[in-house]
Structures are given as structure tokens and as C-alpha cells.
Amino acid sequence: MLIRLANLALFMKKTLSLVAFVLLLCSVSNAQKPITGFLGIPFGSDSSDVKDAVKAMGGYKNDSLSQKDMLGFSGIAIGSRHVLFCFVKFVDNKAFEADFVFSDFEQIDALSYFDELAGDISVVYGNGLISNNFGNYSNNKRIKRLLSGDAYGFTVWRSRNKNSIYLYFQIVNQSVQIVLQYLDRDLWNLNAQKRRSNL
């Protein structure tokens, strides 16, 4: 009985987190600049153009990370920040999503790293919409809560063209990573439609 109650409490917590995330996605931030691509690569670019642009930045295609309709890259830096991996997703050979994974920080510094990256994005796109359930805890306790799944934190920028940038924490092998995601809404919707039709 206690196990069932604990599982129910965990399910409720995750459901509330998901609801908060979805509500935030439906909001529009006061983006100063339209979100039309990622790192100077326009949404809708084909895989060949994306590979060339990443190569020009010093990155390279990582075959072990790539799969159908998704290219994985290594060797990229955004400013002074080293990108662990970058994933670019395609629909009809048009780039609609780019995910940059960061882990070049000590775990205790994850929150300040996140805030600094969010600040850099806000300089270009205006203030994002922030959501978290960190509470009035120390940074060390907040990190422990993230690692245990008891806390979440993300910031969303959304321009008038409905394209978005998401910055959020993810936990992999009991380690905090930060993901920066760029998303083209129309192409994302096209991808979702195609996936549904293939079910």
C-alpha cells in the first residue's frame, strides 16, 4: 500500500511538472529578434548545408550519434562553452530542431552555468519565461533535488513566428546536463503529423 502511494505521489509530481511545462510552451515571450535558426543556420536547411556549416565552425559529424532524419555532431563550441554533443533533426530533409548538450561544468556550478547561458540568450532574444520548483534551498540542495527528479528548471523564448528556444536541465547517469534546444514550430508540426500517419 505504501509503495502504491509513493508511486502515485511520484506520478502526480511528474504530471504537475509536465503541465507547468506545457503551459509555459503556450506562452509567448517578448523576443527582440525572430527565432529563424540556430548558430546562423536557418531552419529548413538541408542536411548537406547543415554539415557544411557545422564543419565551418570546427565541428564534425559523429556517425555513432547519427540516425535516420537526425545528424549528430561533436567538436562544436558556443562562445567559450564546449558542446558535448549536438543533434539536428530533419523532416523531408529540412532542419527543424537542434539540441546542444552541455556538461563542461562542475555539478555544483550547474545553476550558475544555466543562468549565464540564459543571460546570453536573453541579450539577443529578450527575456525568456522561467519556470522551476527549486524553492528556497541552497544550490547544493537544488542540485540534489534535480538529480533525484524532485526538481525541474527551464527557460523558454518564443518569437512571434512561434519558433522557440528551450533551455533545460536533464539528468544522465546521475549527472546534470544542460540542453539548449532550437525549434521551428511549423516543421515540428509537420514532423509530428508524419509520425502520426506512420503509426
pLDDT tens, residue by residue, 24-74: 444 444 447 899 999 999 999 999 999 999 999 999 999 999 999 999 999
Query: Distances in Å between the alpha carbon of 116 and those of 102, 110, 121?
Result: 13, 10, 9
Looking at the predicted structure, is the pLDDT value of residue 151 above 50?
yes
**How does DSSP classify residue 128?**
P
Average pLDDT, the chain: 87
